[in-house]
Structure 1
Amino acid sequence: MKKLTPSQIADLEHKLKHPKDYSERNRLCVILGYDEGISTKNLAKALRISPITVQKYLREYDSDPA
């Protein structure tokens, strides 16, 4: 995943304040945390989700054209 721009970070943090559901909140936390240098293993452990789910969230964000 490429490093996030300040604009992307601001957008994700704004969305994090009012997530649609817990899954979206976890997805946003994964993206922001990974950008800050937190490993996929540690993100999975902290959010109580599988490492495969963490990798899925990162792949989905990376392939999102928006």
Structure 2
Amino acid sequence: MYTRYRGYILQGQAARPGWQVRVRPSRPGVPILSRGSVDAPTLDDAIAEAERRIDRLLWEARIRA
């Protein structure tokens, strides 16, 4: 399973004991996350946490600019 969110590709996969979502840029020029994966008990939780991290990263990058 994969989806796109604000210039990133989120790719989910089952991982014991829950789910892992890997995050990578889908285009040049977007900041790179310090941790490229998120682990959570459910896929929805992992995606939500990945989206929060992306939002925070983009917000911090905008403030520094």
Give the TM-score normalised by structure 1: 0.31
Larger strand share, 1 or 2 = 2
The structure having more radius of gyration, on CA atoms, is: 2
